[in-house]
Amino acid sequence: MEATIQNAENVQRLMRYTYGIVPIVAGLDKFTNILTDWKHYLAPPINSALPFSASTFMSIVGVIEIIAGIIVLVRPRVGGYIVMAWLIAIALTLIVGGQYYDVAVRDLVMAIGAFSLARLSVANVHE
């Protein structure tokens, strides 16, 4: 029984760092575009409805992702749900844009992982 609890805690810790660090890195990259040019992932209908440039929007997105990642690292029970909702919103945006369905599916799978992190963190009274 003790080994099972320790394994669950190890999985929760790994997921906590993954779902904390990855949004922070992706958020920081919204300012540098080293990984990709993030504006391409913005659905044209959303882009045309914005009162500012796509670059400005992606900077805002970057700040939100950095904050979400920090919340996951500090409070994974709450942060897991925040990242889950964020990933679902990104996937829906990609689907509305009519492209990048592969990325949308990946983000939905990652949302399930973020949900799992939040649920695992409920059991960990130290979080």
Cα–Cα distances in angstroms (integers) from residue 89 to residues 39, 84, 96, 97, 101, in the given order: 16, 9, 10, 12, 13
Total domains, the chain = 1
Indicate whether 126 pLDDT > 60: no
pLDDT, average across residues 96-102: 92
Quick one: average pLDDT of 85-94? 95
What's the confidence (pLDDT) of residue 85?
97
Q: Which residues of 49-59 are buried (b: 16+ CB within 10 A; e: fewer)?
A: eeeeebeebbb
Residue 5 confidence (pLDDT): 77
What would the mean pLDDT of 29-58 be, rounded to a whole number?
A: 93
Structural domain containing residue 9: 2-123
pLDDT at 35 over 80: yes
- pLDDT of residue 76 exceeding 70, the answer is yes
